[in-house]
């Protein structure tokens, strides 16, 4: 594997800043701004069922990327009711298969960050076939560094994913 940063080297390491404790409230938790997912203020879902909604990104660089959210407002894996936790594995497999079916995709990376909003959602990023320098943890960095494609293109690719669900 030849993971490579999307920046020219040399980069110089720096020290972490002062810790912020308590941390600033996230969207959708007490003291924070309202939940954008519950308020319907995100990109519209391209697919949904009783438990989940699937959305295209905005201002992204990888067509075929999507994010999946629970219908219920819970924070993380440990907060999902058992039935949803079990169903997550099934729906994640469907999303992965649907993205791979787009073609030109080597692997589907799944990320759960949760630092921005407190409503359960995970990201599925397609690593373009042959783009081995974006392996592993490099893919989100490349996603950030590459030029964005139009939101319409991201939405169309997400609709192609939805059609294969």
What distance in Å separates the CA atoms of residue 100 and residue 75, rounded to the nearest whole number? 28
| Minimum distance of Zn ion from residue 38's CB (angstroms) | 3
- Does position 80 interact with Zn ion (CB under 5 A)? The reply is no
- Does position 37 interact with Zn ion (CB under 5 A)? The reply is yes
Count of residues in contact with Zn ion, rule CB under 5 A:
6
- Does position 74 interact with Zn ion (CB under 5 A)? The reply is no
Q: Which is nearer to Zn ion, 37 or 46 (CB)?
A: 37
Classify 13 as helix, strand or coil: coil
Residue 25 gets which letter from DSSP?
P
Q: Binding Zn ion by CB under 5 A: which of 27, 71, 73, 94?
A: 73
Where is 145: in which H helix or E strand? helix 138-145
What distance in Å separates the CA atoms of residue 37 and residue 45, rounded to the nearest whole number? 10
Q: Binding Zn ion by CB under 5 A: which of 55, 109, 119, 127?
A: 119
């Amino acid at each position: 594997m030849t993971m490579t940063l999307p920046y020219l080297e040399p980069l110089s390491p720096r020290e972490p800043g002062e810790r912020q404790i308590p941390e600033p409230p996230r969207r959708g938790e007490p003291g924070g701004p309202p939940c954008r997912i519950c308020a319907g203020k995100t990109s519209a879902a391209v697919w949904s069922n009783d438990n989940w909604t699937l959305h295209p990104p905005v201002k992204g660089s990888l067509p075929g990327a999507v994010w999946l959210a629970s219908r219920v407002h819970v924070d993380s894996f440990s907060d999902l009711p058992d039935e949803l936790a079990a169903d997550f594995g099934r729906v994640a497999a469907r999303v992965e298969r649907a993205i791979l079916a787009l073609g030109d995709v080597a692997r589907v990376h799944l990320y759960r960050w949760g630092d921005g909003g407190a409503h359960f959602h995970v990201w599925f990023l397609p690593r373009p076939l042959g783009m081995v320098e974006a392996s592993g943890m490099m893919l989100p960095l490349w996603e950030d560094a590459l030029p964005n494609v139009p939101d319409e293109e991201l939405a169309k690719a997400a609709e192609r994913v939805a059609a294969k669900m």
